[in-house]
Chains A and B, each alone.
Chain A
Amino acid sequence: PHPPLTPFPPALLQDIRNTVGNIPMEWYQDFPHIGYNLEGKKIYKPIRNKDELDMFLEKMENPDYWRTVQDKMTGADIKLTDEQVDLVHRLQKGQFGDVHFNPYEPAVDFFTHEVMIHPVTNRPADKRSFIPSLIEKEKVSKLVHAIKMGWIKPRKPKDDTPTYYDLWAHEDPNSILGRHKMHVPAPKMKLPGHEESYNPPPEYLLSEEEKLAWEQQEPAERKLNFVPQQYQCLRAVPAYSRFIHERFERCLDLYLCPRQRKMRVNVDPEDLIPKLPKPRDLQPFPTTQALVYRGHTSLVRCLSISPSGQWLVSGSDDCTVRFWEVCTARCMKTLPVGGVVKSIAWNPNPTICLVAICVEQSVLLVNPCLGDKLLYGATDQLLESYVAPEEERVQPVQWETATMEEHSKGVRLVVQHSKAVKQVTWHGKGDYFASVVSDNSNMQVLIHQSSKRWSQNPFRKSKGLVQRVLFHPTRPYFFVATQRYVRVYNLLKQELTKKLMTNCKWVSSMAIHPGGDNIICGSYDSKLAWFDLDLSTRPYQLLRHHKKALRGVAFHKHYPLFASGSDDGTVIVCHGMVYNDLLQNPLLVPVKVLKGHVITLDLGVLDVLFHPTQPWVFSSGADSTIRLYT
């Protein structure tokens, strides 16, 4: 019974109902018409030329303005009738639209709580309401069966023990299992230091660059996992944002970190230092630099000293050999040899005055003509007394007598090798000498006899690049150092007696104790190996005193001293006491570090040499000087 919501004013006779249907009228916003009537003609929008002012005026003047509504479908203004306004009011109040509708009609009870004597319906009761239900029976039997089978259990009795009780009421020691003894308890959290305080002393606060460094570090390698901060008072302290993180990390540590008992080394570092005899008690040994021999213009590669200890000879890269007087540092003689001097060796026999010099492919035997005239005269005579054998033997080298010109300089014999010669060394008797040729064949080592001008090649096979060779001072042994091993040959039996492992990468130098039972090897990997030949083929001790490659090692003839020179410009003198008692191991004590040489071209000390009688040590360096330490 609702009245039509948009009644047309009766004044309009023609039917202008719009046929566009239920569409949003905005679609016609931009068109002059707003739809079509029943005949299909356009319905035009009423011409609206009212502006704001007109609207206002109308609002002021028209008493029915409040009840004028625009019909969206037609665009026409409609004045609502009284009934319509009434309806709107009622709807606004939430009342029923129909005035005559009574929502509070008296209720009619169909059923009452009072039991009536007659049934409500007249239908007779079913049979099934009088017999037991089959479905229920089935259900019950199922349940009974389930109970019988133990599928349904009676409700568990409530556990009424208190949640907390005295768990450790009776502690029995038996309950401590092996597990607990093996158990590694988790370490406790580190206790906070001053820097974690909310108001730390000012020195614990990080400066700007420290803060920057802290930020750039990986979170794992930071020393503190927070930035120390200072707050003026307690109320200014904010919450720590990583608190949960830290607790979580602790949890992870507790159950994911492998635990291990770590034995902390608890030693006094001073106890680690071995107790050695004081160097003062081990005197004499060279302590200070006494003399500097200047004259060479390039690296001084090699040194040698006369058996009397009066003369020193040095070979250098400036193609000269110089003879010096030891006590005065005076250069007695300069011998230009026309090539780099690789090695030099003074004949150890005091009755022969002869120096072997390696120059390129030849070994020169030079009579320096220094000292006792009788002595060097005798040497010359000895050399001249040589008589060539009848039959010419095949030799690996050529022996030549020096020319007149050379003779005047002092050169007596020239041993021409096929390749460049690296090293020359004399036998203790002063007749034989050995030379090392830089070659890969079996011709690397040659042994020469100066009196017979005769050479031989002792080895049939090459066993690697030979670095050094050495004669045993008293017995017929011959030491050959290759890169990693030192082989000891018996010259009489012509066999290999020993092979020493040096444990170094590249042996550079070798020296033998005058007693003949100990040798030392210096190596380019800055190690010095001391061998006791009686003990084993491995080093008795490996000393790592130098910081750079060792170039030269030397033993003293009489004093228990040995020295090593290295590229770091130092000469280290060690006390190396060898006891006659075979049961007592040698005693090695470093006694002095001698400095003085200037490092040039990354080379420091190239050769070291002891004075035959005095506890003095000579060293030749890359700074083209020779220094004497006394």
Chain B
Amino acid sequence: RRLCILKGIYPHEPKHKKKVNKGSTAPRTFYLLKDIKFLLHEPIVNKFREYKVFVRKLRKAYGKSEWSTVDRLKDNKPTYKLDHIVKERYPTFIDALRDLDDALSMCFLFSTFPRTGKCHVQTIQLCRRLAVEFLNYIIASRSLRKVFLSIKGIYYQAEVFGQPITWITPYTFAHDHPTDVDYRVMATFTEFYTTLLGFVNFRLYQSLNLLYPPKIDGQTDAELKPAEGKEYAMDSESYLEKLSALSASLARVVAPTHEDEVEMDEFPVEGETAEQMDTRKKEQEALEKHKKLFEGLRFFLNREVPREPLAFIIRCFGGQVSWEKSLCIGATYDVNDPSITHQIVDRPRVEKQVVGRYYLQPQWVFDSVNAKLCLPIADYFPGVLLPPHLSPFVTEQEGDYVPPEKLKLLAMQRGENPDEESEEEDEEAEEAEDDNDKEEEEEEEDESEKEEEMKLKKMEEEKTQSNKVLPVKVTAGKLRLEDKQRLEQEQQSEEKRLAIMMMKKREKYLYKKIMFGKKRKVREANKLAAKRKAHDTAVKEERKKSKKARRA
């Protein structure tokens, strides 16, 4: 089993399940014979055997209390390396990057484990080191793209060598360790993943001309050194801590020149039109801009804010960040520094506010990163009811439900500013206390929804048609017009139905399945829209009521 995990061997679904299973249909897992033979060739099998023998000998020596034997055995402890397996499983670097998702998630999880029980302390420390190294790389290369605060943890997505890498980190709380989880399996996975991540990190650092293992940049290092010595006994530990503070930039093998700034030469690809070129160029520009989102801003993190993720994100987009000295080492400036532009606060009220900086809730950072622009800060003041936090991983397709906040965001990205308008309208509406106005406003919000609804209606009509009662109208002329259209539509739909009748059985099955899926999607979208509408009306009612109460 351990070998399967390390070598990445997985069961296969046989083509003829019954044949393979000798007639019975009981669920069993099947491995390819070739895979198993492949496993037997593995040199690491012998290493495992040696290790087993070593453990047996050691136990025996302990039992006989032959301490010299124990010492000798421990001295000759067999070790194994997974390098060749990594190389074999991922013949190219890109392959390795593609499979990095799980490795990262696992390492981040293990690095948050307590240092007692469950798994070896060395593993945890190694995981922590590798995770921190990876974060530092991401900062140095500024390749973070998306972040998402979910109830499970924080999702990050970075783009490394064109490969999107997504990982999740749990919130920093103590884990309640479940009993029905086999930690040995997880530990085996982690063993492999740490090896993989180590090599990947090495390669990544090399690609950026950074030293590996990472060194903090010279001058800051010298400044920090004396202070560290007093507080921390172990040098290596303090070093890791410093690194994990994520505040200092890393030393480079070659001093950074202006190479990066040099404009990339454009190689027009044949068959690519000018438009495509343009769009590509635009994308490039947008990306550059996104990378420098927080350039020139100075952040200060309050005590109650999760330090590591925020520091990581802010640094990834070029901002400067600091925190209280007592919280963690590596703080670069003080609360009272007048040059701070933003202070991240997660408490309902701030006692003494300093003029000249914005006090914001942490969601602002996340939302800004996802929106690729610095969002208006008004919604994110401390104690304010926050706007919903949307997932950046969802790309709405045609016909999907799009939350109104997302629409607003998209509009903002396009450069419009619907926020103010709607706000103004909101105020007007409130002043007038007229229901019509509100409806208008609603309409504006729901424009796209309406389009969808129209589409849905059409579809439904096609489905159920014929039996529907005609809407009674007063004017005769209009009625006829409707009738004609309707008739035509009816005819068309009937034709379609008749054609569907003539489909072959298999095709009909497929068709029905597809249509069912579509209908379900539409239904879900409708449900969400209806829910939203109900919620909005409820909120509006509430507001009205409170206003009335205030007036009375």
Interface size class of A (residues with CB under 8 A): 35 or more
- Evaluate contact between A258 and B83: CB separation under 8 angstroms: no
- Evaluate contact between A164 and B175: CB separation under 8 angstroms: no
What string of 1s and 0s marks CB contacts (under 8 Å) between B187-220 and chain A?
0010000000011011100100000100000000
- Evaluate contact between B101 and A188: CB separation under 8 angstroms: yes
- Evaluate contact between A273 and B186: CB separation under 8 angstroms: no
Contacts of A191 in B (CB 8 A): 155, 166, 391, 393-394
On whether A251 and B186 interact (CB within 8 A), knowing A200-B389, A234-B361, A258-B12, the answer reads: yes
- Evaluate contact between A269 and B511: CB separation under 8 angstroms: yes
- Evaluate contact between A201 and B178: CB separation under 8 angstroms: no
A232 CB → nearest B CB, Å: 7
- Evaluate contact between B29 and A256: CB separation under 8 angstroms: yes
Cβ of B500 under 8 Å from chain A: yes
Contacts of B29 in A (CB 8 A): 256, 258
On whether A198 and B150 interact (CB within 8 A), knowing A167-B83, A260-B13, the answer reads: yes
Give bound CA distance, A102 to B404, whole Å.
94
Give bound CA distance, A202 to B537, whole Å.
12
Cβ of A99 under 8 Å from chain B: no
On whether A197 and B510 interact (CB within 8 A), knowing A232-B385, A240-B170, A258-B29, the answer reads: no
On whether A166 and B149 interact (CB within 8 A), knowing A155-B76, A244-B178, the answer reads: no
A contacts with B: majority SS? loop
- Evaluate contact between B510 and A272: CB separation under 8 angstroms: yes
Contacts of B160 in A (CB 8 A): none
Give bound CA distance, A405 to B496, whole Å.
57
- Evaluate contact between B96 and A168: CB separation under 8 angstroms: yes
Contacts of B421 in A (CB 8 A): none
- Evaluate contact between A189 and B166: CB separation under 8 angstroms: yes
B466 CB → nearest A CB, Å: 9
Contacts of A168 in B (CB 8 A): 87, 90, 92-93, 96, 199, 203
Chain B stretch 391-418: residues in CB contact (< 8 A) with chain A? 391, 393-394, 403-405
Number of A-B contacts (CB under 8 A): 262
B523 CB → nearest A CB, Å: 13
Give bound CA distance, A153 to B76, whole Å.
10
On whether A194 and B186 interact (CB within 8 A), knowing A202-B532, A233-B386, A259-B10, the answer reads: no
On whether A235 and B347 interact (CB within 8 A), knowing A188-B166, A202-B532, A265-B510, the answer reads: yes
- Evaluate contact between A171 and B151: CB separation under 8 angstroms: no
B113 CB → nearest A CB, Å: 9
Cβ of B5 under 8 Å from chain A: yes
B342 CB → nearest A CB, Å: 15
- Evaluate contact between A196 and B185: CB separation under 8 angstroms: no
- Evaluate contact between B206 and A166: CB separation under 8 angstroms: yes
Given A193-B391, A231-B151, A238-B171: 20 more A-B contacts, CB < 8 Å: A163-B198, A164-B199, A164-B202, A167-B202, A180-B95, A184-B10, A189-B102, A192-B150, A194-B403, A199-B389, A202-B531, A234-B363, A235-B304, A250-B102, A251-B185, A252-B185, A255-B8, A259-B12, A273-B496, A279-B498
B interface residues, Cβ below 8 angstroms from A = 1, 4-5, 8-13, 29-30, 38, 75-76, 79, 83, 86-88, 90-93, 95-96, 98-99, 101-102, 105-106, 109, 148-153, 155, 166, 170-171, 173-178, 180-182, 185-186, 189, 198-199, 201-203, 206, 212, 304-306, 346-347, 361-363, 385-386, 388-391, 393-394, 403-405, 491, 494-503, 505, 507, 510-511, 514-515, 518, 528-529, 531-532, 535
22 interchain pairs (CB within 8 A)? A155-B75, A167-B86, A192-B150, A193-B391, A193-B394, A197-B149, A197-B151, A199-B363, A234-B305, A235-B305, A244-B109, A251-B5, A254-B5, A254-B189, A255-B8, A257-B11, A258-B13, A265-B514, A267-B514, A269-B514, A272-B507, A276-B498
A interface residues, Cβ below 8 angstroms from B = 153, 155-156, 159, 163-168, 171, 175-177, 179-180, 184-186, 188-189, 191-194, 196-204, 207, 226, 228-229, 231-235, 237-248, 250-252, 254-260, 265, 267, 269, 272-276, 278-280, 543-545, 588-593
Those 10 A-B pairs whose CB atoms lie nearest each other, nearest first: A239-B173, A191-B393, A203-B532, A203-B531, A196-B150, A201-B388, A258-B11, A199-B389, A258-B13, A168-B93
